[in-house]
Amino acid sequence: MAEHSTPEALEVLRPEVDPQEIALQYIHHEFIKLFPGQPKNFYDRLAEGASKLPQTIGTSSLWELLAGLAEGYKCKWVYRFLTDSGLQWRLERIALDDIRMTGMSPFMDPILAKANWHPSTFAEVWRSNPGYATQQDAVGMRPEPLRDSLPIMLIERNHYLQVFDGMRRTCMAALANKPDMTAWVGRRIQPGKSRINADKTLFLFATYAESNTHDETSLHALIGISKLVIREHANGREVVERALRFLEAKPAMGEAAKQIRAAIQ
């Protein structure tokens, strides 16, 4: 591998993957974690129901659900990455030590940092400190047969393949001395923009509308944020427009909405 190049796949299992398929896996994965200890037929029906979400709730609501689970509940960038128009998604088999580990929890992060975010080094650090496994915060560090077969998610960033979902699975693979892992990999093929869920701007506008004071500094900040959202996100103008309609419906907010509209034209 040339210096400063992103690691290549050991094997490309599927060269082109629709991001919606990966979104459905993520939702299914989170649902499994929400309902532990159920009989097998429960999880079979859960998998079937998750696979039908595009038909039962529609594609738009599917992505809103993903954003709510990934960002609102788990504080992960799954929605942001899967909607990035500049990424191509593939299913790949990746050498374990070509994977760059990322943040996991306040308990795990110092351990991972000690391992320099490197899977095999993490395994060495963990085994050489048996007290780690006895800590209450280590309760999640165990195999989960229902979930461990699912591909992890990697993103190409700064010449690394960084984990953005699947850190526990990566840790388990390292501790089991596995040489490689299956992963959904987003590789950069062109400049692109991600989407932003509408709640991000809506709640900022609501915070301004429901505050006791409506000072010029806050209004100018809202204008600046609106411009940033429009510039940086594929659907930026759409979500700002939705927030503006909310603001216009609030008593005494018409003038503020008018000023924002004028500024973002």
DSSP-assigned letters across all residues of 116-127: TT-HHHHHHHHH
Question: pLDDT by residue (tens digit) across 108-148?
Answer: 999 999 999 999 999 999 999 999 999 999 988 999 988 99
Instruction: Give the pTM.
Output: 0.91
State the Cα–Cα distance between residues 56 and 175, nearest whole angstrom: 40
Question: pLDDT by residue (tens digit) across 160-194?
Answer: 999 999 999 999 999 999 999 999 999 999 999 99
Contact 201, 242 (CB under 8 A): yes
State the Cα–Cα distance between residues 109 and 40, nearest whole angstrom: 33
Q: At what angle do helices 198-209 and 216-232 cross, to 10 degrees?
A: 170
The order of strands in the sheet holding 152-157 is 11-14, 87-95, 180-188, 152-157, 160-165, 99-100
Contact 4, 159 (CB under 8 A): yes
